[in-house]
Chain A
């Protein structure tokens, strides 16, 4: 089955963390242990939103050594496609849900002599799992975490209490600025940089690190993003012999699934490469929104990542 084997879980806890963020804990329905994962891994949560199937990836934030349950934190996005709203409004303790096995597209590079974490807002979640992991085997790390204000700085106090001066918090509304350039200028050889946060922050960190001469392979980003919305479009699926219409708030992958086509996927966020599909004919423009295809592949227009990318034009035929 596409997306790999599933985990049957039950919601054990729903905890409101702040005005925007709620935490969910899942345990195995059979009372057993869940598969092991590593810091930075995510799970894809399947939701049955009153007939609409939603599959959203969320970073696992619990201690990777704790196999009795998985925890995720979900930030409510009122302008999003509805997955986070469903989680906030409808998911209650004791509900049965289905998760994918954990997949890690944002792992620690354990060859690093030091790990430098830059988090923005809800981007803190993968780092919480990573810090649990590093604390267990004595890895050296430093967290720099920016949030709008102290009330929205989820887990900030808890992390500060647990890890002391290895944790640095910055609150935008109090005029506190993460001193990125100065920080990047004073890291010992062998430091690896990790960033998870809003798109603007990712670009800022990417640009600043490149300008400071940081090597590509020492800079890591949590890339996956929600598919986003766009104008509806029609696609011919050559192998299945179907023509489908992708709705404004639907992804091409979701539209294929709704039409009963079993298409491969893993991250559903344009990062892992699993859903890569050949384009047979393209009379129009593919709106590539993934982080997987190379710029050359994108320009050639022979491949598309249906989990996030869209199309505008007269006709698109793909090999699925």
Chain B
């Protein structure tokens, strides 16, 4: 699978680019699922890939659709590469890596929006400018959605509307996105006419 094309939307909806190697003292690379291909492409573009490998630390986990390309990551030969069991466990490792990182490091995120958004949120919390984090979307388009009513977050939302995994309300999935929460907004779809719930359509795969 190659780079994902999202239809044009409101300004709040995140857009993604293509990872490009940039000069830096250290390269932090975080990826899930098909993001491994973007990481491989990144190293293929590097003018001096062996030097970049020596300064790279990759954190990887399988995608929400089950895609596991750990072998591709391992084959890249980065100085450090770690496979996490899930996004939450990957984020624990990321928090530790960020503690020792210094300015002059380059940061690359690749894969699904849930992984990219949560890694971006944690990196931003350190004061690193979000606009200077490189992001490339690959793989599944399932969404991480916050119910604006109960504030609960539902991972890997496939349909619109969907039922909040916390409070049970039926939610319409908006393109309105929060970088702080790393989530799209879900708004009650039958607030005015209780019970008038349109059939769920699979919009995210």
Chain A positions within 8 Å of B, measured between CB atoms, are 109, 111-114, 184-193, 211-218
Contact = CB atoms under 8 A, between A and B. Distances in A.
Interface string B17-37: 000001111000000000000
Nearest to A215: B132
Interface string B80-119: 0000000000000000001001111110000000000000
B75 interface: no
Contacts of B128: 189-190, 215, 218
Nearest to A213: B24
A185 B132 contact: no
Given A185-B25, A189-B98, A214 B126 contact: no
Contact of B23 (A184, A189, A191, A213): A213
Contacts of B131: 215-217
Give the contact-size bracket for chain B.
10 to 19
A46 B102 CA distance: 44
Contact of B127 (A112, A184, A211, A212): A112
B199 interface: no
Interface of B: 22-25, 98, 101-106, 123-124, 126-129, 131-132
Contacts of B127: 109, 111-114, 189-192
B23 A185 contact: no
Contacts of B101: 188-189
B132 A189 contact: no
A218 B102 contact: no
Given A184-B103, A214-B103, A190 B132 contact: no
Given A113-B127, A212-B25, A184 B104 contact: yes
B105 to A, nearest CB: 7
Nearest to A191: B103
Nearest to B101: A189
A304 B132 CA distance: 30
Nearest to B106: A213
Given A191-B103, A191-B127, A217 B132 contact: yes
A187 B127 CA distance: 12
B122 to A, nearest CB: 11
Given A185-B25, A190-B126, A213 B104 contact: yes
A189 B129 contact: no
B103 to A, nearest CB: 4
Nearest to A190: B127
Contact of A218 (B24, B25, B98, B129): B129
A212 B22 CA distance: 10
